[in-house]
Structure formats: C-alpha cells, structure tokens
Amino acid sequence: MANAIIPNKHPMPAQDAAVRAKNFNEVALGYDEETVVAEANRCLQCKKEPCRQGCPVEVDIPAFIKLAAERDFAGAIKKLKEKNALPAVCGRVCPQENQCEKYCTLGKKNEPVGIGRIERFCADWELATGVLPQEIAPPTGKKIAVVGSGPSGLTCAADLAKLGHKVTIFEALHVAGGVLMYGIPEFRLPKAVVQAEVQSLKKLGVDIQVNAVVGKFATVDELMEEGGFDAAFLGTGAGLPYFMNIPGENACGVYSANEFLTRTNLMKAYLFPEHDTPIRVGKRVAVLGGGNVAMDAARTALRLGAEESWIVYRRSKNELPARHEEAEHAEEEGVKFAFLTSPTRIIYDDDYWVTGMECLRYELGEPDASGRRSPVPVKGSEYIMDIDTVVVAIGQGPNPLVPRTTKGLECNKKGNIIANLETGATSKPGVYAGGDVVTGAATVILAMGAGRTAAKSIHGYLSGK
C-alpha cells in the first residue's frame, strides 16, 4: 500500500477538446499500466468496504483493486466478472460519482479512488489479451427467454447462464446491446467494446437471436407455451421517444434523439456514403432537453459538422439532469447552452424545412413536488432562434409492443411494467422484468442491477419448480 495519501485521482488522458469535437474516436483514452497500478495503490483497503454499497451489482471493489495493484489483471478481471458481466461498459458509462466512488473513504477529504477507471483498464486488458474462460454450473435443463439485449437483459442472461440454465436472448434490432449500441455514442463507448463484451456472453453459452421482435414473430405467451421456455425476463427498455407536441414538430429537420443517435451510432451514418444510412445536419442545431441523451445528441451534432450546437433547456444549469462530467465535456467541445428557454413552435419554409424556432424565456419559481424549482414562462419574452435542425431529447417511455401482447401482464398508467423491485417478479407467474421498462429511463448500471436481481429470483423460481 502507498505510504502517503495522494489527494487527487491520477488524471485520465483524453483527446484535446478542439480535436475530438470533430471526430468520433473515444474521448477518454484510459490509463496505462503504471498509472492504473498507482491509482489502485491509492485504495486504503478499508475493512468496512463502503464503496460496495454504492455498486448496484455489488462488485467486490477492494478485492479487484488489490489484485490490480499487484499487477494481477487476470485475477482482477475474474473478480470483477463474478458480479459484473459488462465491466468495459460500466467502467466507461457508470455515473461513479453517485455510486461506488461516492462512498469511498478517501473521497471524504480528497478525491475518491478512480474505481471506474481501474475497472475499465482491467476490462480492456482482458479484451486485448483474450477473454478468460469462466466457471459454469452443470446444465439444469431449464430454458429461459430474455427479451431485449440491453444492459438488463445481458446481465440477467450472463448470471443465469453461469448457473447452468439455457438462455436465449431475443433482440429486435440486428445487433445485440440495446442502448449501448444505438444510444450511447461511439466517442463515449466504442461499439467494438460493446460487441467484445457480447461475444464473451456467447462463451457462457448464451444464444442471441437478433432480428427477433417479441410481440410480432411470437408473443411472450407463445414462447412459454409453445417454445418450451420455463421463465422469461423482459428487459425491453424505454425506447419510445416523446415529442414536445408543439406545432411544426413533423417538419423536415426535426429528429427524435433516438432517431438521430440510432442513425449515427447503430447505422454509422457519420460514415455515409461508405455506410448507406444518411443523416442530415444543418449549420445550427438545437437539442431540446438537459439529460445525458441531450448531451450525446449535441456533441454528436458537432461531430457531424454543425457549426453551432445548442442545448435548449427550460430550467437552469443547476437543474441539468445530465451528469456533470457530460455537460462539462459538451461545453469544452463548444456546445452552447440556452438555459431557462423552451420552444413554443418550430418554424419552417415552403418546402417544410426547419428555419427557426420560437422560444419563450422562463424564470424559476417555487420548488415543485420533485423539490426542483419549477420553470415559469416570462410573459412577452418570445423570440426566434435561428436554427435549421432540431433534436428532441425530452425523454422516452416504454415501448408498448411486449406489454400490449402479453396476457395478464400489469402495467402502470405510463405503460411501465409493474414489477417487484426486490425480486423483479411481475403479475404473471414465471415472467420477470427489470431495467427501464419498469423504472422508466434510468442508468445502465441500475438496469444491470435489475437484471441481476431478476436472475436470482428466476433461479429460485426454477429451483423450486
């Protein structure tokens, strides 16, 4: 262990903001071996392990960090993978400041240990040197259908496969990964990294059927009654885009963030015409919303060649739901912010192309039920924003396809599947659910935690059956 406390995290090398704003390469470059060992040595190896309470998938953090400090990266990744099927993803996209690193003892007076960065290094080390075999329990003869291959489905599938169950994942798109593939941009989470993690799942014996839309080619009931599946996990996410419902929203040049990001990330429209999917980005782009998706869209717009990329958010900087780091990265790259501003209508020309957006300025009023000060429009403050592309990033709801076609599956008013958060059990015996389809749009790691919880319950359910 280190003798003296090093107060700050070892800095993470990153691409220069001016350069990276023009390319899709990963922004954060990762630690090298010397730095990761030095950072791992900052860990105090506390007996109480407070960091672990902040991890939704309960990774044995001090143990893997100790192994990394000893340069036993094979041991470290093995320890990580006992609990986390997607460490290369989590090390990159988890909001560690609100999770493991929030509880780090060092963090009380200094900067916490860079747990995410160490996790990322170990995962990348494994992907570079070759994925290690994992222990798999003897076959149980039970079959489980996992619907959706996003973070919750992948985690649930990995856990169940390790317990000896036969797992088939059904994915609607042509590749597995869900939001990791179509939503989170290449410059934050390289798609090759996601696919490498998906490949390591296949080594556990998980069968992944892509191009399989459950609710269309077969319903959940049909999978269980005719397909011979003993249980099902629904991890279909929150993929239904919300629009503002303001005039002009169907004009040409208005995208949902889902469409904008799917074209760019999944279909690689940034490589058009080498890749066939086109995208059209004008000179001045307005992204509506203040979450991580909005930041991703605004940063993507710059990389697609926009001269100006604006975040238009109806509250102030303090209320931004996006991670602080994401907003900061966006700002460094040149994204501009119009706070306390909300559009009232989108203006278009004779050919139906967007030419501007009428906005209203807001001021903050009394705190609302959520404790945030609610925005109140300022009368007579209308002005026209001169823009030619709009990306609507105000949130997503659950895709209704599976809930609508599954008999006896209870949902709430918003269309989310009702599931016990402790067990993942739904109103339908043998059917479990977790992730965004239950909670509404949240984080990758929370979805993974829900996948893990459901896997435990499914294992219990099948063992007792």
Partner 1 sequence: MYKILRKAVLAPTLCLFDIEAPLVARKAKPGQFVILRVQEEGERIPLTIADFDREKGTITCVFQEVGKTTMELAKLSEGDSIKDFVGPLGEPSHIEMFGKVVCVGGGVGVAPVHPIARALKEAGNDVTGIIGARTGELLFWEDKMRVACTELRVTTDDGSYVRQGFVTDVLKEVIEEKGDIALCVAIGPLPMMRAVCNMTKEYNIKTVVSLNSIMVDGTGMCGCCRVTVGGQTKFACVDGPEFDGHEVDFAEMARRSVIYKTQEQLAVGRYNNEIEHKCSCGCGGGK
Question: For residues 271 and 376, which CB has a smaller minimum distance to partner 1 in the complex?
Answer: 271
Question: Taking the complex as a whole, how short is the minimal distance between the CB of residue 304 and partner 1, in angstroms?
Answer: 13
Angstrom distance (rounded) from CA 398 to CA 417: 8
Angstrom distance (rounded) from CA 222 to CA 227: 6
**Residue in 304, 312, 260 with CA at minimum distance from that of residue 286:** 312
Question: For residues 14 and 213, which CB has a smaller minimum distance to partner 1 in the complex?
Answer: 213
**Residue in 256, 260, 212, 259 with CA at minimum distance from that of residue 236:** 212
Question: For residues 276 and 363, which CB has a smaller minimum distance to partner 1 in the complex?
Answer: 276
Q: Do 118 and 39 form a contact (C-beta atoms < 8 A)?
A: yes
Question: Taking the complex as a whole, how short is the minimal distance between the CB of residue 197 and partner 1, in angstroms?
Answer: 20
Question: Taking the complex as a whole, how short is the minimal distance between the CB of residue 186 and partner 1, in angstroms?
Answer: 15
Which residues bind to partner 1, rule: CB under 8 A?
172-174, 210-213, 216-218, 239-241, 243, 245, 249-250, 252, 255-256, 258-259, 262-263, 267-268, 271-278, 280, 351-352, 399-401
H or E, element range at 297: helix 292-303
Question: For residues 249 and 308, which CB has a smaller minimum distance to partner 1 in the complex?
Answer: 249
Contacts 24+ apart (CB under 8 A), 80-84: 80/119, 80/122, 80/123, 81/134, 83/55, 83/57, 83/58, 83/59, 83/452, 84/57, 84/59, 84/119, 84/155, 84/448
Question: For residues 210 and 384, which CB has a smaller minimum distance to partner 1 in the complex?
Answer: 210
Question: For residues 74 and 213, which CB has a smaller minimum distance to partner 1 in the complex?
Answer: 213
**Residue in 276, 306, 309 with CA at minimum distance from that of residue 294:** 309
Q: What token pair was written down for 241? A: 């885009």
Angstrom distance (rounded) from CA 156 to CA 432: 10
- Classify residue 29 as exposed, middle or buried by CB count within 10 Å of its CB (0-12, 13-18, 19+): exposed
Question: For residues 141 and 278, which CB has a smaller minimum distance to partner 1 in the complex?
Answer: 278
DSSP letter (8 states) at residue 304: T
Question: For residues 70 and 276, which CB has a smaller minimum distance to partner 1 in the complex?
Answer: 276
Q: Do 37 and 8 form a contact (C-beta atoms < 8 A)?
A: no
- Classify residue 365 as exposed, middle or buried by CB count within 10 Å of its CB (0-12, 13-18, 19+): exposed
Question: For residues 241 and 435, which CB has a smaller minimum distance to partner 1 in the complex?
Answer: 241
Instruction: Please provide the DSSP assignment of 384-434 as one string.
Output: EE--SEEEE-S-EE--SHHHHHSTT--B-TTSPBP--TTT-B-SSTTEEE-
Angstrom distance (rounded) from CA 107 to CA 208: 41
